[in-house]
C-alpha cells in the first residue's frame, strides 16, 4: 500500500496545531439502526502502520459499536482551529474486539492498550456507560493490567475512501477532494469552496 496523497496535508495540519491537545480530537458520525445520525468526539490514535487506516479506541459497551455493527460507514469531521482547515473523511470502519480472528491485529489492539495512560485504561473498568449514574465507589475499581486489555477494550480501524480538505485561509478558500477508486488509486481534484 502507498501513503495516500492527502496524508502529507493532514500531517502538516497536525504539526501546525500540535500546541493544542484538542487538535488530536475529531468528530465521528455514524448512523443508528433507526436511520438517524450519531455524532461524537473521539481521539485520533495514529495510523495503523503501513496503512492509511485511522486508529480509534472505544468500549464495546458504547452505542457506537451497535451502530457500526449494523452500518460500518462513518464520516470524520476534523477541524483544526489554529490553521483553520477542515478534513471531512468518509470511510469504512472495522471493529477489532477481543474475539477478532487476526493475531496481527490482536497484537495492535494490545499495543494500543499498552500505550494508554493509567487514567485512560481504568475507564474501561468503570460501570456501564450511559446507564443510570452509579455511586462514586463504582468509579474506583482496581487498576487493570497494563499489558493485557480488558475484554471490553476495542480498537476501531477507519479506512478512508474520500477526503474533502477545506482551507479557510485563502481568497477564496481552497478545497480539494480526494477519492479512492476500486484499484486503490486516489483521484485528486480542486473544487469550489
Query: Which residues are near a copy of itself by CB under 8 A?
Result: 20, 22, 25, 27-31, 35-41, 71, 73-77, 79, 81, 86, 88, 90, 123, 126-134, 139, 171-172, 175, 177, 189-193
Residues 109, 64 contacting (CB under 8 angstroms): no
Phi-psi region of 170 (alpha: psi -120 to 50; beta: other; left: phi over 0): left
Question: With respect to a copy of itself, which residue has the nearer C-beta, 105 or 177?
Answer: 177
The nearest distance, CB 131 to a copy of itself, in angstroms, is: 5
What are the φ and ψ backbone dihedral angles of 58, each rounded to 5 degrees?
-155, 175
**Cα dist. 93→28, 86, 158 in Å?**
11, 21, 4
Asked if the bond preceding 159 is cis, omega within 30° of 0, the reply is no
The nearest distance, CB 185 to a copy of itself, in angstroms, is: 19
Report residue 30 as a C-alpha cell: 455514524
Question: With respect to a copy of itself, which residue has the nearer C-beta, 41 or 117?
Answer: 41
Question: With respect to a copy of itself, which residue has the nearer C-beta, 107 or 140?
Answer: 140
The nearest distance, CB 15 to a copy of itself, in angstroms, is: 18
Question: With respect to a copy of itself, which residue has the nearer C-beta, 90 or 105?
Answer: 90
The nearest distance, CB 133 to a copy of itself, in angstroms, is: 4
The nearest distance, CB 74 to a copy of itself, in angstroms, is: 6
Q: Which of 157, 46, 48 is nearest to 92 (CA)?
A: 157
Question: With respect to a copy of itself, which residue has the nearer C-beta, 74 or 144?
Answer: 74
Helix (H, G, I), strand (E, B) or coil at 115: helix
DSSP symbol at 47: B
Amino acid at each position: 500500500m502507498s501513503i495516500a496523497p492527502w496524508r502529507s496535508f493532514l500531517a502538516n495540519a497536525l504539526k501546525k496545531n500540535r500546541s493544542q491537545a484538542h487538535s488530536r480530537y475529531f468528530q465521528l458520525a455514524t448512523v443508528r439502526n433507526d436511520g438517524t445520525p450519531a455524532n461524537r468526539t473521539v481521539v485520533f490514535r495514529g495510523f495503523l502502520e503501513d496503512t492509511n487506516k485511522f486508529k480509534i479506541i472505544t468500549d464495546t459497551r458504547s452505542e457506537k459499536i451497535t451502530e457500526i455493527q449494523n452500518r460500518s460507514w462513518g464520516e470524520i469531521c476534523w477541524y483544526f482551529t489554529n490553521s483553520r482547515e477542515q478534513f471531512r473523511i468518509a470511510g469504512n470502519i472495522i471493529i477489532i474486539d477481543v474475539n477478532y480472528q487476526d493475531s496481527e491485529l490482536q497484537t495492535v489492539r494490545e499495543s494500543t492498550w499498552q500505550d494508554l495512560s493509567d487514567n485512560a485504561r481504568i475507564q474501561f473498568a468503570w460501570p456501564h456507560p450511559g446507564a443510570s449514574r452509579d455511586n462514586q465507589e463504582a468509579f474506583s475499581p482496581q487498576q487493570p493490567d497494563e499489558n493485557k486489555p480488558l475484554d471490553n477494550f476495542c480498537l476501531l480501524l477507519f479506512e478512508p475512501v474520500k477526503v474533502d480538505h477545506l482551507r479557510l485561509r485563502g481568497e477564496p478558500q481552497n478545497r480539494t477532494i480526494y477519492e479512492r477508486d476500486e484499484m486503490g488509486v486516489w483521484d485528486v481534484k480542486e473544487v469550489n469552496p
